[in-house]
Amino acid sequence: MAEIAPDIFFASISELNAKLRAKEFSCQELTRAFCDRMERIGPRYNALALSLRKQALSKAKDVDRELKRDRTRGPLQGIPYGAKDLLAVKKQPTTWSAKPYATQVFDYDARVIEKLNSVGAILIAKLSMVELAGGGDYRTAAASLTGPGLNPWDRTRWSGGSSSGPGSAVASGLVTFAIGSETSGSILTPSAFCGVTGLRPTYGLVSRSGAMALSWTLDKLGPMCRSAEDCALVLHEMAGADTADPGSAGRSFNYTPQYTTRRLADITIGYVPVDFENGAEPAAQPALRAAFEVIKSLGVKVKEIRIPEFPYGALVSTIIAGEAGSIFEDLIRSGKVDQLADPHQIAGLRAMLDLPATEYLRAMRVRSLVKAAFHDLFLSCDMVLAPARLGPAPKAADPLDAPGPPTRSRDDLIPGGNLAGLPAISLPCGFADGLPVAISLLGRPFYENQLIAIGNLFQKQTDWHRRRPPMEA
């Protein structure tokens, strides 16, 4: 049996796939090693919702047969990954990390699981999350069946929500990539806090069929990986039209950097000066300023901009309340909502049933103005550079609405970008108090290739995405 060196757990998708093709180890050996690591270390960060060892090893055996016959399916063939526990996996519990659904089982796979399975990727685990993906406005990191998501860089810190398990699992080398979801920040936040690269696709680019719905008009699925290139390789396989998802954009994504990347001198990146002067938390400012200088050095044009002013947070909250109240009406009216872990979340879900239709419709009308404003913004620039979050991860034991260090920047791009259905990528850019911080790039709809191109260039100039957390943390 080939020995799996520790570095393998932090290898890129392309590196792992090349080693599998070269027969340096078998897919079964690789999968078994990742399963062992997941089951041993995953509980340390409350990242593991369900091990899928048996079916993973069966799939790995099939991949070994294919590789033996030189039958290749692309770069994800044989690559171990994890999926947030809101994605259905056939005949396995899909709990949505909430006690009322602890025994829930579906007889089908989510569409993204089907697509990844078809190219030979190996699903080794369901990964933890905030209960119901945060619906109802949770206030504690412990709002989860598996306990608070803990950060591999410091287990007293939060890994971020609601894709807490994917963030911790990728950062600590438990999987090579993970599938998360975002309604308003649930891919970008844990990616930033855990020091991994996360991509939120354009609304409708990836099918949500078989995924728990929180907000039909906001939910998105996306990859959380080691690098921008890895995100591109996963999105290439995840994306595509699906008639089973009414929100499907009917489009695919092809990662073709040799054809789609524009000349750097022709790309204009907008930014808000205060974000990179003294707008973020003091400890994060040096890393953010250094990252800004790296982006400038790539040869792109940079331009000062103003983010359109809207009550983004209130709009997102109202839209989620209107849609989640309908989605979880049976849970709320049955009284089973009281089984959730966070009392504030229980109260928030109950209040959703009292939201007047006029408020929801008013929010949707203002949302159309948000989309128009971002459309106009992108007439003057190609993408927007900003801090992914204004500081590092908070303490896991602290209330999530506790006042943090003072900042001068407005943290608008996450809710604003989600309201407008825009793609964004989070890129690790350094550390503050020993914890990761990140920048983000926001683009116009279906601009993923250009965001990935700039992300690739940034990661060729830096090595933050290659840093590993101390495993004793």
Active site residues: 84, 162, 186
Whole-angstrom distance, CA of residue 212 vs CA of residue 83: 13
Q: Which of 440, 430, 378, 383 is nearest to 409 (CA)?
A: 440
Give strand pairing partners of 48: 127
Q: Which of 424, 436, 435 is nearest to 465 (CA)?
A: 436
> Could you write out the DSSP letters of every residue in 212-235?
--S-TTT-EEEEEESSHHHHHHHH
Crossing angle of helices 312-327/343-352, nearest 10°?
A: 80
- Token pair, residue 281, equals 């938390």
Closest CA to 244 of 209, 199, 220: 209
CA proximity to 118, closest of 256, 238, 14:
238
Residue with tokens 């404003």: 373
Output b/e per residue, 25-62; b: 16+ Cβ within 10 A. Answer: bbbbbbbbbbbebbeebbebbbbbbbebbebbbebbee
| Cα gap 369→375, rounded to integer Å | 10
> Which strand ranges, in their side-by-side order, compose the sheet holding 424-432?
48-51, 122-127, 80-84, 177-182, 220-225, 197-200, 424-432, 435-443, 383-387, 268-271, 301-304
Residue 405, burial from CB neighbour count under 10 angstroms (0-12, 13-18, 19+): middle
Q: Between β-strands 220-225 and 383-387, what pairing exists: parallel, antiparallel or unpaired?
A: unpaired
Contact yes or no for 47/169 (Cβ under 8 A): yes
| Distance from C-alpha of 432 to C-alpha of 285, rounded to nearest angstrom | 8
Q: Which residues pair with 442 in a beta bridge?
A: 384, 424
What CA–CA distance (Å, rounded) separates 133 from 205? Answer: 20
Identify residue 19 by its one-letter amino acid code: K
